[in-house]
């Protein structure tokens, strides 16, 4: 729950895990960040940000996987996206009312940098090229969310599950064999299904020889068929 603050000062100008946006910054600006930021780590399962909390620091994800989610009234959870390294968390919230609209939890061990929001905003105002890169990132996010939205609202459960599997294979792991970083319930929450329905579809894919499934370990055996199901199913 509570981040382990690293005792090491993070020398941003030498950091090998810079974002595309930060790569544009001048040495002076990077030093400005360094003086107002802090490295930290989270353990798998830790909640990093609670929806509804105020933002004083922006979180930059240096390594690990994070789920972005919200809980609704009846305790059910909707996972918005899986965030992987080299990403700023919660940018849209920052530029609105400064209240975090989503929660974030670590799916694996995670390392991050906290950056003071005032410094971050100042950099955007001072350096249009930095601002442009941040815009690119927020826009990409927005289009991705839209894609997920369309996927959930227009496809049937087989198409949705296929889509999610392809998403993990191509975007997150870049492998045809991978380990899902969460439970079946969370998998279902990501695509807006009940746990039972998600399980049933996975079992069906296994029985049909499309996937090999052993617990959280997944291999895609028939990628073409899976892609076809994602499109038309």
Partner DNA sequence: TGTAAAATGTGATATTTATCACACGAAGAT
Partner DNA sequence: ATCTTCGTGTGATAAATATCACATTTTACA
218 near DNA, judged by CB under 7 A: no
Could you tell me how many residues of this chain bind DNA (CB under 7 A)? 19
Binding test (CB under 7 A) with DNA, winner from 117, 199, 222, 227: 199
203 near DNA, judged by CB under 7 A: yes
Binding test (CB under 7 A) with DNA, winner from 110, 192, 210, 229: 192
Q: Which of these ranges, 62-70, 103-111, 199-207, 223-231, lies near DNA under the rule CB under 7 A?
A: 199-207
Angle value at C-alpha 233, between 228 and 65, nearest 5 degrees? 75
Alpha-carbon gap, residue 180 to 216, rounded angstroms:
5
Binding test (CB under 8 A) with its own copies, winner from 6, 9, 45, 149: 149
Alpha-carbon gap, residue 131 to 123, rounded angstroms:
8
Residues 157-186 that bind its own copies (CB under 8 A): none
Burial class (CB in 10 A: 0-12, 13-18, 19+), 85: middle
Cβ 222 to DNA, closest distance in Å?
19
Burial class (CB in 10 A: 0-12, 13-18, 19+), 116: middle
Site string for DNA, 136-165 (x = CB under 7 A): --------------------xxx-------
How distant, in Å, are the alpha carbons of 121, 211, 212 from that of 59?
Answer: 13, 36, 36
What SS3 state is found at 32? helix
Cβ 49 to its own copies, closest distance in Å?
15
């Amino acid at each position: 729950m509570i981040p382990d603050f690293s005792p090491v000062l993070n020398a941003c100008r030498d950091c090998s895990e810079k974002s595309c946006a930060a790569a544009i910054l001048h040495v002076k600006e990077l030093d400005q960040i360094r003086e107002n930021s802090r490295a930290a780590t989270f353990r798998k399962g830790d909640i990093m940000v609670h929806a509804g909390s105020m933002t004083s620091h922006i979180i930059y994800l240096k390594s690990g996987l994070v789920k972005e989610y919200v809980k609704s009234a009846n305790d059910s959870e909707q996972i918005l996206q899986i965030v992987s390294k080299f990403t700023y968390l919660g940018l849209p919230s920052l530029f609105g009312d400064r209240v975090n609209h989503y929660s974030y939890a670590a799916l694996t061990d995670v390392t991050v940098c906290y950056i003071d929001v005032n410094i971050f905003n100042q950099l955007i105002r001072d350096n249009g090229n930095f601002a442009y890169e941040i815009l690119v990132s927020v826009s990409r996010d927005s289009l991705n969310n839209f894609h997920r939205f369309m996927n959930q609202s227009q496809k049937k459960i087989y198409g949705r599950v296929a889509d999610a599997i392809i998403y993990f294979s191509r975007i997150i792991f870049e492998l045809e064999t991978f380990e899902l970083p969460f439970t079946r319930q969370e998998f279902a929450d990501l695509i807006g299904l009940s746990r039972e329905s998600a399980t049933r579809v996975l079992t069906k894919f296994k029985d049909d020889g499309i996937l090999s499934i052993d617990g959280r370990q997944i291999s895609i055996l028939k990628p073409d068929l899976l892609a076809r199901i994602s499109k038309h199913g």
